[in-house]
Amino acid sequence: MRDTFVKTLLDIAKKDKNVYIVTGDLGFGVLKPFWDELPEQIINAGIAEQNMTSIAAGLAMQGKVVYTYSIGNFPTLRCIEQIRNDCAYHSANVKVVCVGGGFVYGSLGMSHHATEDLAIMRALPDVTVVAPGDLVEAAEATKAIYTTPGTCYLRLGRGGEKQIHNKIDDFKIGKAIKIKTGKNVAVFSTGAIFDEVDEACHELEKEGITPTVYTFPTVKPIDKDTIIECAKEHKAIITVEEHNLSGGFGSAVAEVLAEADDVKAKLVRVALDDRYSCIVGSQKYLRKQYGIDAQAVIAKVKENY
């Protein structure tokens, strides 16, 4: 996803000299095309994410559209006060970009995991929160937040994610995308963990079980209409996210259902069970260890089908 993001942003920045990227002293290999072609539109703030964010806010207040770029939870949790006070409060056009949501940097331990970011960022007033599920969604999301006023958060995987779409003709902030029509159970996924959902659905189909599947590239604003429609037509909704159980994507869906009328679906959330990871390993390994892999999705669908 990160290569797709950089390529897409470079295309945007070539056409708009007001587009900048500010990095926290990383991504030199990935960002090299940007450095080479647009050296005046990229800034290395050093290993100082708070400064990175405040620099971006200052540029944005002067009419620039600024993308901050770092890994894991560094562009969010490390500088949350600057995002809140300098960016969100002023509706500054700062687009906070995380490369490596969830357990992407699993082998580096919990200090590099991004498992609370969706909850924290969606709690900030008027901040748009986007977590694309594949390369096509990542490209469309990068373009969409460019034209979305105010502060946005873009949560990316790292690379090697399974491609869901050939193309998306009508990508919109705040709209879910239907992948498959099924019955009884609807599975909602946000972010790069969609590959686990896809694997689960292929296994379920071998047993004649076909859930409805949606990917939610936008966590905030959430697609209320799709949630309510599915809740009226299905016995259960299962949300899947590479994030803590509290406050994330599943919680956003729960909030919609709690205020909806005439819905029948039970909500089941597949997420990190309100804990930090005390072990290290690959992203795939940690997903399995903490019950957010394809087998967990299969089990939840079967329990509620």
Domains of the chain: 2-156 (3.40.50.970), 177-304 (3.40.50.920)
Per-residue pLDDT tens digits for 44-84: 999 999 999 999 999 999 999 999 999 999 999 999 999 99
Query: What was the pLDDT predicted at 163?
Result: 85
Residues of the chain with pLDDT under 50: none
Residues with Cβ < 8 Å from 188, sequence gap 6 or more?
A: 176, 214, 215, 216, 227, 230, 237, 238, 239, 240, 249, 253
Query: What was the pLDDT predicted at 179?
Result: 96
Q: What is the pTM of this model?
A: 0.96
Contact (CB, 8 A) for 68 and 53: yes
Query: What was the pLDDT predicted at 127?
Result: 98
- Residue 257 has which token pair? 């259902």
